[in-house]
Chain A
Amino acid sequence: MSNPTHLQYTKEHEWLTAAVDGVSTVGITAHAADALGDIVYVQLPEVGDTVTAGETCGELESTKSVSDLYSPATGEVTEVNQAVIDEPALVNSAPFEGGWLFKVRVEATDELLDADGYTAFTGA
């Protein structure tokens, strides 16, 4: 799956949309979802939590492993995707769409990559 050009990416394999009214949507990339394998459990921050760019804010559990979820941005969580909590396999089947993870009111971000930069980074 190619990396959508309208998103920005971290080296920890999260993606972030451009902010709408200050709020961005966060997910993990197809590359990361594929590397993890079938995702069976998603632990997300709660609405109202403050997350910090580059720090862990949840975890993704697959058949074989547990991976930390890092926040690509600092700010308050405004919404979490209940659909992926109920059906974690959405992260595998639609990582850039229905498998989004949470929304954050962005105050700051770490250095982000564009799609070409992320594609080059993953060697895909």
Chain B
Amino acid sequence: MSLRLTALDALHRSLGATMTDFAGWDMPLRYGSEREEHLAVRTRAGLFDLSHMGEITVSGPQAGELLDHALVGFISALGVLRARYTMICREDGGILDDLIVYRTAEDEYLVVANASNAQVVLDALTERAAGFDAVVRDDRDAYALLAVQGPEANGILAKLTDADLPGLKYYALLPATVAGREVWLARTGYTGEDGFEVFCAPADAAHLWTALTEAGTAEGLVPCGLSCRDTLRLEAGMPLYGHELSTELTPFDAGLGRVVRFDKTTNDGAFVGRKALEEAAAQAELNPPRKLVGLVSEGKRVPRAEYAVVDAEGAAIGRITSGSPSPTLGKPIAIAYLDAAHAEPGSTVAVDVRGKAEPVQVVALPFYKRAR
């Protein structure tokens, strides 16, 4: 099967991007040095093409009730023009995907799924919509998605829109005109920085990319690929589906039990996975089997996903889910699931890096938090 191309494909190629297959999409991995792109987002601004993300519109009088039933969050309680991080789980509590849900109107929501799970989420929502007065619409082809992230993002965008940016809170959105094009402008992102995500018509994507690039030149905005997006989110301690999250884990296993809202009142409190998640919550409270922690290495070799974490005797006590050199810290960092007995911040454990035990220190997540 050939790779899907975003509306910005020709632009990426003209910029000399190194492209990569990501969940069936041909996406920019980096344009030059991924380290420089990473540092640009931390100190200035970066521009991302995220058009591979999967948009699903849920609308109708019972759209909120449907989402309360289908997802673990209390979605109908979300204010109009606000967004929420949530998850969709199976009956057994396993995580199908993590999502951001934007409430775009009283009776309409925009659900954004990971590219790799968009079809799974679409199918699950469609199936779970039975009996609700609501419509689930595949809008993957209706939107391109750009993200402007970094401390200069606000100033750059302000040059292109009259929208009330100071009034746009974190995890909120607005219908706005940016560079003359109608978009949904959301103050969300996946980098640990202030920033915006711009949902637009694919036909407008290249115009917006060019306008943002020109508006950001003076501030040092650079195009950024998926490689630095991954190191940025890793420093910010944000989970990535397929790494920290999977169908084998519940939100409680991932240390994200707070997204599960047992207090929701719609549908008499029933939702898909409730029973299994109540058991997982009780287990996590009494006897957490393992914890998601950060690891920092003083060495140069990088603990990578799937490497074993070992104790002083070499016995396996955990597993790395994501690892990378941290451009901000200047050291290798990793996220790992670690047996609770070894998970205390400050502990020293080791990672089996291709046969050699490299000492690492356990730290609390995130590795990086921006000054506000």
Decide: A63 and B227 in contact? CB cutoff 8 A: yes
Q: CA A64 – CA B305 in complex, angstroms?
A: 11
- Is the contact region of chain A dominated by helix, strand, or loop, or is it mixed? mixed
Q: For chain A, residues 42 to 84, give those with C-beta under 8 angstroms from any C-beta of chain B.
A: 61, 63-64, 66
Within 8 Å CB of B227, what residues of A?
Answer: 37, 63-64
Q: Does A29 sit within 8 A of B, measured CB to CB?
A: no
Residue B30 is within 8 A (CB to CB) of chain A in the complex: yes
Known: A61-B302, A64-B227. A40 touches B325 (CB 8 A): yes
Q: Does B369 contact A (CB under 8 A)?
A: no
Is A63's CB under 8 angstroms from B325's CB?
yes
Task: Confirm or deny: A114 has a beta carbon within 8 angstroms of a beta carbon on chain B.
Answer: no
| A41 and B35 contact, Cβ closer than 8 Å, known pairs A63-B227, A63-B231 | no
- 0/1 interface trace, chain B 344-357, chain A, CB 8 Å (1 if under): 00000000001000
B301 to chain A: which residues have CB within 8 Å? 41, 61
Asked if A66 and B35 sit within 8 Å, CB to CB, the answer is: no
- Residues of A in contact, count (CB < 8 Å): 11
Contact of B34 with A by CB under 8 A: yes
- Choice from B34, B300, B354 contacting A63 with Cβ under 8 Å: B34
B35: A residues at CB distance < 8 A = 38, 63
With a CB–CB cut-off of 8 A, which chain B residues contact A35? 18
In the complex, per-residue mask of A24-44: 1 if CB is within 8 Å of any chain B CB, else 0: 000000000011011011000
Point out the residues of chain B lying under 8 angstroms from A10, CB to CB.
none
- Which of A63, A66, A92 has the most C-beta atoms of chain B within 10 angstroms of its own C-beta? A63
Contact yes or no, B304 A38, CB < 8 A: no
Do B300 and A38 touch across chains, with their CB atoms under 8 A apart?
Answer: no
Q: Is the CB of B30 within 8 A of A37?
A: yes
- Nearest CB of A to B363, in Å: 20
Asked whether, in the complex, the Cβ of A63 is within 8 Å of the Cβ of B304, the reply is no
Which residue of A38, A41, A64 contacts B33 across the interface (Cβ within 8 Å)? A38
Give A37 to B325 CA distance when docked, in angstroms: 12
B324 at the interface (CB under 8 A from A): yes
The chain B residue with its CB closest to the CB of A40 is B325
Kindly list chain A residues whose C-beta atoms are within 8 Å of the C-beta of B325: 38, 40, 63
A41 to B29, CA, bound (A): 20
Most buried by B among A38, A41, A66: A38
Name the residue of chain A whose CB is nearest to the CB of B231.
Answer: A63
Chain A residues with Cβ under 8 A from B34's Cβ? 37-38, 63-64
Residues in B neighbouring A66, C-beta threshold 8 A: 302, 304, 354
User: Which residue from chain A places its CB closest to the CB of B324 in the assembled complex?
Assistant: A63
Q: How far is the CA of A37 from the CA of B324 in the complex (A)?
A: 13
Tell me, in angstroms, the Cα distance from A120 to B159 when the chains sit together: 47
Query: Which of A34, A37, A92: most chain B Cβ within 10 A?
Result: A37
- Looking at the assembled complex, report how far the CB atom of B85 sits from the nearest CB atom of chain A, in whole angstroms: 26
| Distance of A66 Cα from B325 Cα, bound (Å) | 12
C-beta contact mask, B24-41 vs A, less than 8 Å → 1, else 0?
A: 000001100111000000
User: Which chain A residue shows the least CB distance to B226?
Assistant: A64
Considering the complex, give the chain B residue whose CB is closest to the CB of A93.
B33
Cα–Cα, bound, A61→B332 (Å): 11
Q: Mark A96-113, 1 if CB is under 8 A from B, else 0.
A: 000000000000000000
Give B284-319 as 1s and 0s: 1 = Cβ < 8 Å from A's Cβ atoms: 000000000000000011101000000000000000
Q: Given A35-B18, A40-B302, A40-B325, 16 more contacts at CB 8 Å?
A: A34-B18, A37-B30, A38-B34, A38-B35, A38-B325, A40-B300, A40-B332, A41-B300, A41-B302, A61-B300, A61-B301, A61-B302, A63-B227, A64-B29, A64-B324, A66-B354
What residues of chain A have their CB less than 8 Å away from a CB belonging to chain B?
Answer: 34-35, 37-38, 40-41, 61, 63-64, 66, 92
**Which residues of B line the A interface, CB within 8 A?**
18, 29-30, 33-35, 227, 231, 300-302, 304, 324-325, 332, 354
7 residue pairs from A and B, CB less than 8 Å apart: A40-B302, A40-B332, A61-B300, A61-B302, A64-B29, A64-B324, A92-B33
- Nearest first, the 5 closest Cβ-Cβ pairs linking A and B are A41-B300, A40-B325, A38-B35, A63-B34, A38-B33
